[in-house]
């Protein structure tokens, strides 16, 4: 169930109307990095985008211990150990294979503290009220825990951009109309990216081959980077205002009412792939 769904907090709607010039967008990426390959590609896009000030990243869902190791190694190898790495509560349940475990466990980075993910995000929201965009590209136990812990602080976020949910699914939440399922990263784009030869593209290439060996797949689908790309270039994934509610089974439903979310219903795969390669290989 993969789909981009941007949920705007009330504070975001007010801030958007104000449209004040901001030099850089403060973001935090909450991610299940290490399972599918697209989280690493999302981090790569964020690190390649001067429009973003990355306040931190946080590991969510399942084996968060190994996820923070992967974050530490990637950020360390890229000279960005200044970016805090927060850790969500580890859970024994992880339905997905950790396909990039060898890389994650192979780092030799010096140990550093990992703040609690929930506390870290809420602290940043309080510190920069109305300025922080939370980008959630994995399952949402961290986000749920933030809401449970301090809804008032959570509402201080500027917006929450989520890769998740399903809309107009014909009563089958496991087979959604997926606005990002077409984002296949084909060989031409991969070759252009991996031939670039920077530290970042070399890391992404290595992760890709590890993921490919583990999954026996060759064409990744870059769901997660679209969350960031949609912030950088909104035309790649135009947003439709909808009123969204959750039913008791956790399904997102389009219901009558004033819009409370902006939802990407369609995306342009070729334009996205070109944008991604251009951005990550750019100056």
* Residues of this chain, 175-204, that bind Ca ion according to CB under 5 A: none
Which residues, other chains included, contact 48 with Cβ-Cβ below 8 Å and sequence gap of 6+?
200, 279, 280, 282
> Strand 25-31 vs strand 132-136: parallel, antiparallel, or unpaired?
parallel
71 vs 69: CA distance, rounded Å? 5
> Strand 244-246 vs strand 252-254: parallel, antiparallel, or unpaired?
antiparallel
208 vs 257: CA distance, rounded Å? 43
Q: In this complex, which beta carbon is closest to Ca ion, that of residue 137 or of residue 161?
A: 137
Q: Which residue has the tokens 């590991």?
A: 59
To the nearest whole angstrom, how small is the minimum distance from the Cβ of residue 105 to Ca ion?
Answer: 19
Candidate segments 26-34, 65-73, 78-86, 196-204, binder of Ca ion by CB under 5 A = 26-34
- Does 137 engage in binding with Ca ion (CB under 5 A)? yes
278 vs 272: CA distance, rounded Å? 10
68 vs 47: CA distance, rounded Å? 17
- Does 63 engage in binding with Ca ion (CB under 5 A)? no
To the nearest whole angstrom, how small is the minimum distance from the Cβ of residue 47 to Ca ion?
Answer: 16
To the nearest whole angstrom, how small is the minimum distance from the Cβ of residue 2 to Ca ion?
Answer: 8
**CA-to-CA dists, residue 194 to 13, 73, 210, angstroms:** 39, 19, 14
- Does 138 engage in binding with Ca ion (CB under 5 A)? yes
Candidate segments 54-62, 106-114, 128-136, 217-225, binder of Ca ion by CB under 5 A = 217-225
Q: In this complex, which beta carbon is closest to Ca ion, that of residue 4 or of residue 153?
A: 4
Candidate segments 24-32, 62-70, 72-80, 128-136, binder of Ca ion by CB under 5 A = 24-32
Q: In this complex, which beta carbon is closest to Ca ion, that of residue 41 or of residue 154?
A: 41
Residue closest to 44 by CA, chosen among 7, 2, 77, 10: 77
Q: In this complex, which beta carbon is closest to Ca ion, that of residue 145 or of residue 226?
A: 226
18 vs 39: CA distance, rounded Å? 31
Helices 225-232 & 38-47, crossing angle to 10 degrees? 30
Q: In this complex, which beta carbon is closest to Ca ion, that of residue 62 or of residue 138?
A: 138
- Does 5 engage in binding with Ca ion (CB under 5 A)? no
- Does 56 engage in binding with Ca ion (CB under 5 A)? no
Convert residues 28-47 into a mask of x (bound to Ca ion by CB under 5 A) and - (unbound). ----x------x--------
**Other CB atoms within 10 Å distance of the CB of residue 283:** 3
Q: In this complex, which beta carbon is closest to Ca ion, that of residue 31 or of residue 131?
A: 31
* Residues of this chain, 229-258, that bind Ca ion according to CB under 5 A: none
Q: In this complex, which beta carbon is closest to Ca ion, that of residue 39 or of residue 72?
A: 39
The residues of the shown chain that bind Ca ion, judged by CB under 5 A, are 32, 39, 137-138, 224
């Amino acid at each position: 169930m993969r789909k981009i769904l941007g949920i705007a907090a009330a504070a975001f709607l007010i801030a958007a109307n104000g449209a004040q010039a901001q030099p850089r967008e403060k973001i935090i990426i909450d991610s299940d990095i290490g399972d599918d390959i697209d989280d690493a590609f999302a981090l790569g896009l964020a690190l390649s985008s001067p429009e973003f000030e990355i306040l931190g990243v946080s590991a969510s869902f399942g084996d968060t211990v190994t996820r923070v190791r992967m974050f530490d190694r990637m950020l360390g190898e890229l000279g960005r150990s200044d970016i805090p790495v927060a850790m969500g509560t580890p859970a024994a349940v992880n339905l997905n294979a950790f396909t990039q475990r060898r890389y994650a466990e192979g780092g030799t980075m010096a140990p550093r503290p990992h703040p609690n993910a929930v506390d870290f995000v809420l602290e940043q929201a309080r510190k920069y009220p109305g300025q922080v965009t939370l980008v959630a590209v994995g399952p949402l136990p961290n986000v749920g825990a933030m809401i449970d812990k301090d809804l008032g602080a959570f509402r201080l976020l500027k917006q929450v951009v989520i890769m998740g949910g399903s809309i107009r699914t014909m009563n089958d939440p496991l087979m959604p109309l997926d606005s990002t399922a077409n984002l296949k990263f084909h060989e031409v784009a991969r070759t252009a990216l991996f031939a670039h030869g920077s530290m970042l593209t070399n890391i992404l290439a290595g992760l890709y081959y590890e993921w490919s060996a583990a999954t026996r797949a060759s064409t990744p689908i870059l769901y997660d980077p679209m969350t960031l790309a949609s912030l950088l270039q909104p035309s790649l994934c135009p947003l439709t205002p909808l009123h969204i509610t959750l039913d008791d089974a956790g399904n997102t439903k389009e219901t009558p009412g004033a819009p409370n979310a902006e939802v990407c219903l369609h995306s342009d795969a070729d334009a996205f792939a070109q944008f991604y390669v251009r951005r990550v290989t750019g100056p």
